[in-house]
Structure 1
Amino acid sequence: MSNLIHNFLSNRVLSRFTIFVIDILMIMFSCLVMYLMRYGFVGLTPEVRADGITLGVILVFVNSITFILFRTFSGILRFSSFSDLMRITYALMLGYGFTYLAIIILKRYHPGFYLDDITFISVFFLNTFLMIFSRILTKEVYEFITGRDVKPVNVFIYGTKEAGISVAKALKGNSEFNYRVLGFISDESQMVGKELMGITIYANNENIFRTLESKDVKTIIVSPQQMEEIKNSDLLSNFVDHNISLLTTVPLNEWNGMIMSKEQLKDVQIEDLLPRDPIHINMLKIASNIEGKRVMVTGAAGSIGSEIVRQVANFNPYSIILIDQAETPLHDMRLELKDKWRELRAEIIVADVSNASRMERIFSRTRPQYIFHAAAYKHVPMMEDNVSESVQTNILGTKIVADLAVKYNADKFVMVSTDKAVNPSNVMGCSKRICEIYVQSLAKYIAKSGKRTTQFITTRFGNVLGSNGSVIPLFREQIKNGGPVTVTHPEIIRYFMTIPEACQLVLEAGAMGKGGEIYIFDMGKPVKILDLAKRMIRLSGSRNIKIEFTGLRHGEKLYEELLNIAEHTKPTYHEKIMIADVREYEYEEVNRKINALIHASYEYDDMRTVKKMKEVVPEFRSINSPFEAVDRLLEKISEKESFVPVPKDKG
């Protein structure tokens, strides 16, 4: 029998019209019951019955309108939420309010009509009770019958402020979640021991784990505001060591209609726990630069380029031109733009930035005013093995796009660089440093001409979380497969920033730049990769994942620098953006050396090409790489050139 009821409740949904009719019948039933209680069968004279019928007709007519306005019948009864009950209350209050006004007018023209206020208010409260109670009863019966085989998950909520309370209300008022809140955790001593929503608040101390164990709680939901507390303390390690899993939600202002959905409740990721302060940007300044402009993004299908596209799309550009040579991810971006920004003029172009004639045609037709140049090969070991491709795509591609920006009078050219360009130890980092040198020298050359033309801005930052091929997705996949997790060196450290944060700073730096600056970003504290791996393993709940050290890869440093030792920084109005005070180069010399380098790259002689790169960037010293031989060769040449023989005394 229970199975039959279970199947019926699970598969049958009352139509909206049926629910509407039931609600109307409740209005009529409420009138009938209250009139019987007020007058009894004896007191229901024909006049009283006529007045009662009139009241019922008015209530049905007016409330039918308010029910339609508030869509009180649109939900599924067994999944009624707190918001559904509030809609019913608002609809009835409005409906009965208008009915009361109608009765006052009716009494003025028909003095014989009698209805006392107590009876009217009683009808309202009984009607409200019946409609709300019917939803709650249906919900409880459904959950009782269908939920006996599904044991709810006991949880505590970390946080007793607005966000924590909102999470608790969402879990209690929505059967979409199978969680039972048994307690709150608070860092505020004045809150400990009190009750919130009938649930006890516990202190965040060593006793909390005994409490969690006694209540069979294996999950803690961390309110968004408390994530900073978790991030900057040992709480994560303590929770994970006690086999407690952590969940969190998106910020309160991102809840749909202030109601939390299941998709907004997520596992705490390692990205949420890295020590980073929130980024704030000047939205008005960025909007004034981009709104109504023709914007080009190269490398638009990559991790950084695609996020720049998303953020630019929100600033109402006249059009946006996406350029990348990766067909499939570029197609994915096309679909995303059509889905989220249907009104945006977007041109999707498959092209290689190192193809001069192709880029010339694109510029002559699209005439971009604002260019974000993110196209580049970025993987250090790959570029150590493919030197010529690094030169042709990173350096030649940048040179072509920058020169075309000047030729077609673009307003701004913003180049995305990397911390690996500082004292480069690998081909990829050196290629980006050469790009920086070319762009800055070109900006200086243009400034000397006195013409108002393209402003060149360079942005330099470290690793971004979750980018294609980065360490966190790799570790996550290795943990998923049971390990081992591979770390190159126990002492290696890196700076990290989220992709949206990095792109926001790129946009702000582009807005503030006047031309020729190299902006560096405050990346926060560096993170030890070994500690990152350990945290990810603990966060996954796994216990037997091993960590293996594989040794530094070709060209890889133990740590990255955001500034050359000889460089200094100047502040800007944004606390996280500084201007690097770097050595400047003359355009003619730089252009000559870069042209020679590009020409050498087409011979595919890696040693000769790297030698040319080191001539442009003397501080480029290869580490853990076959190109260390080039450094030794250059040192010998330098020693010979510096040696001046002393003439012998003929006497």
Structure 2
Amino acid sequence: IAYNGHIELSFLRYSYYLLSGLIVSSLIFFVLLRLYDSLWRYASVNELLNVIIASVLSTIFYCILCTICPVTPPISTVFLYLLILLMLVGGARFGYRFLRLYATRHHLLGRGEHIESRVMIIGAGSAGEKILRETLVTPKINKEVVCFIDDDLSKKGRRIHNVPVVGGKNEILQQAEKYHVDEIYIALPSIDDKEVSEILNICKETKCKLKKLPGIYQFLNDEITLEKLKDVEVQDLLGRDPIKVNLEEIMGYVQDKVVMVTGGGGSIGSELCRQIAKSHPKQLIIVDIYENNAYDIQLELQRKYPKLNLETMIASVRDQNKINDLFAYYHPDIVYHAAAHKHVPLMEDAPHEAIKNNVFGTLNVAKAADQYGVKKFILISTDKAVNPTNIMGASKRLCEMIVQSFDKKSKTEFVAVRFGNVLGSNGSVIPLFKKTNSKRRANYYYSS
């Protein structure tokens, strides 16, 4: 120990006792602050704070020892002790992390040709930073974050782990093209559905694969990883929370009833079958001309509801004799008529098929419902039947007129419900967009 340029020999005689006490006390402080429990490859500000606290406590204990030592050491040794302790304890641990990070980045740079996708992160906050950090420290993730998007003007032009914040949401399209982005991650856990919808409406123009953080609780629980990101669902495009209805109360009237669903393999028909199946009907009869769809929904319902009394019949609503046979055999209490041609452009090219299937098919099922004493007949119609401007809409309006006419003279209760655009239904814009996007990505990787 230096004191006015000389070694204080009297102090050296007591230094062994001081060192023994400091080593024991420092180990105790390190154990209490869990310095030996941390994974230093993931060391962050919390670990650094623990190192500083442990070093300061050890220095305070050193000061206490100095006061009871017969020979008082120089005051400069207190600051030297704290500095050396921080350098040795913190430097060793964070040096290990920095070396791993350098090695990982060096490895990533060396495998640049193996990068699977280039990623844009929307949200230059804590959530976005954690996602970026995971891509940097995990060698098995072959993704490269190339830019951040954030509406905070103070962040524009700044960098997070050397990745630039390039602008706000209005620049998504421009920057996605500039950086050749393949995937977009939305790391904004606290924004509402309307804001998510606005961002998604911009992002969908990029043709990139979209993923989003499910919610703020992942952020609060420190669960922000690439595995927690989920694909964007059609509900995310609503811009509002889905309307929740009491399906048990609504579907209660099908309990212990024989229910028939025509077109039961289609988008709306299959969902009707799912809701009916969970409402404990006496029997569910699925009627569809397309065997693949009918087979799929049959397997699904048999797996989920093994005790369900289910019948799946391959038949066309155009075949009046077959429809009559089905009604005569099963005597359904309720009929949902969802069988129809619905694709507007195709029906423009084949108007006769629209009339035969939609109009005459509905007429056949309605006649059978009236003849065999069905209690309720529900026609699944469309909003395109309102002042129709195309063949499909006109054919469905004729279906509604058939139902209205039967309701006036029949004991069966005939009703029609008009569906608007159904998110995610077969042939709607969302599945078409997803399918087109998947093909483009496949072609891109294949050509690469």
Query: Which TM-score bucket, shorter chain as reference?
Result: 0.5 to 0.7
Q: 1:459 aligned to 417, 421, 425, which one?
A: 417
| Alignment correspondent of 1:330 | 294
2:116 equivalent to 1:158:
no
290-299 or 345-354: which moved more? 290-299
Could you say if the C-alpha distance between residues 363 and 160 of structure 1 is closer, same or farther in structure 2, counting changes exceeding 3 Å? farther
| Alignment correspondent of 1:231 | 197
| Alignment correspondent of 1:285 | 249
Does 1 or 2 have the higher relative contact order (CA < 8 Å, sep 6+)? 1
| Alignment correspondent of 1:345 | 309
Q: Following TM superposition, by how much is the alpha carbon of 1:280 offset from its aligned partner in structure 2, in angstroms?
A: 0.9
8 Å contact kept, 2:150–2:156:
yes
* Distance in 2 separating the partners of 1:164 and 1:414: 49
* Distance in 2 separating the partners of 1:278 and 1:430: 33
Q: Following TM superposition, by how much is the alpha carbon of 1:348 offset from its aligned partner in structure 2, in angstroms?
A: 0.9
2:358 equivalent to 1:357:
no
Q: Which amino acid aligns with 1:334?
A: Q
> What does 1:466-481 align with in structure 2 at a 5 Å threshold?
467-470=425-428
> What does 1:409-488 align with in structure 2 at a 5 Å threshold?
409-446=373-410, 454-465=412-423, 467-470=425-428
> What does 1:134-283 align with in structure 2 at a 5 Å threshold?
149=111, 150-151=114-115, 155=119, 157-159=121-123, 177-179=141-143, 204=168, 219-223=183-187, 228-232=194-198, 236=202, 240=206, 245=208, 247-249=210-212, 251=214, 265-266=230-231, 277-283=240-246
8 Å contact kept, 1:222–1:246:
no
Q: Which amino acid aligns with 2:397?
A: R
SS in 1 for 2:297: helix
Q: 2:334 aligned to 357, 370, 390, which one?
A: 370
Q: Following TM superposition, by how much is the alpha carbon of 1:195 offset from its aligned partner in structure 2, in angstroms?
A: 12
8 Å contact kept, 1:163–1:252:
no
8 Å contact kept, 1:363–1:408:
yes
Q: Which amino acid aligns with 2:396?
A: K
Describe the superposition over 1:356-405 as per-residue Cα deviations: whole angstroms up to 9, x where unpaired: 33223322333333322111123445545655544443223223323433
| Alignment correspondent of 1:313 | 277
SS in 1 for 2:388: coil
Q: Which amino acid aligns with 1:458?
A: A
| Alignment correspondent of 1:565 | none
468-477 or 424-433: which moved more? 468-477
Q: Which amino acid aligns with 2:385?
A: A
Q: Which amino acid aligns with 2:416?
A: T
Q: Following TM superposition, by how much is the alpha carbon of 1:425 offset from its aligned partner in structure 2, in angstroms?
A: 3.9
| Alignment correspondent of 2:259 | 295
Could you say if the C-alpha distance between residues 160 and 336 of structure 1 is closer, same or farther in structure 2, counting changes exceeding 3 Å? farther
Could you say if the C-alpha distance between residues 368 and 262 of structure 1 is closer, same or farther in structure 2, counting changes exceeding 3 Å? farther
8 Å contact kept, 1:298–1:322:
yes
Could you say if the C-alpha distance between residues 156 and 360 of structure 1 is closer, same or farther in structure 2, counting changes exceeding 3 Å? same
Describe the superposition over 1:224-252 as per-residue Cα deviations: whole angstroms up to 9, x where unpaired: 76664253369726984xxx945214845
Matched length: 338
Q: Which amino acid aligns with 1:298?
A: T
* Distance in 2 separating the partners of 1:396 and 1:463: 24
| Alignment correspondent of 1:119 | none
* Distance in 2 separating the partners of 1:293 and 1:161: 55
* Distance in 1 separating the partners of 2:173 and 2:347: 50
8 Å contact kept, 1:231–1:272:
no
Describe the superposition over 1:567-590 as per-residue Cα deviations: whole angstroms up to 9, x where unpaired: xxxxxxxxxxxxxxxxxxxxxxxx
8 Å contact kept, 1:299–1:376:
yes
* Distance in 2 separating the partners of 1:172 and 1:481: 29
TM-score (norm 2): 0.54
8 Å contact kept, 1:176–1:262:
no
| Alignment correspondent of 1:629 | none
Could you say if the C-alpha distance between residues 204 and 172 of structure 1 is closer, same or farther in structure 2, counting changes exceeding 3 Å? same
Describe the superposition over 1:111-134 as per-residue Cα deviations: whole angstroms up to 9, x where unpaired: xxxxxxxxxxxxxxxxxxxxxxxx
8 Å contact kept, 1:231–1:274:
yes
Q: Which amino acid aligns with 1:229?
A: E
2:358 equivalent to 1:394:
yes
Q: Following TM superposition, by how much is the alpha carbon of 1:299 offset from its aligned partner in structure 2, in angstroms?
A: 0.7
| Alignment correspondent of 2:90 | none
TM-score (norm 1): 0.40
* Distance in 1 separating the partners of 2:402 and 2:412: 14
Q: Percent identity?
A: 34
* Distance in 2 separating the partners of 1:145 and 1:196: 18
* Distance in 1 separating the partners of 2:368 and 2:177: 66
| Alignment correspondent of 2:45 | none
* Distance in 2 separating the partners of 1:416 and 1:189: 50
8 Å contact kept, 2:341–2:354:
yes
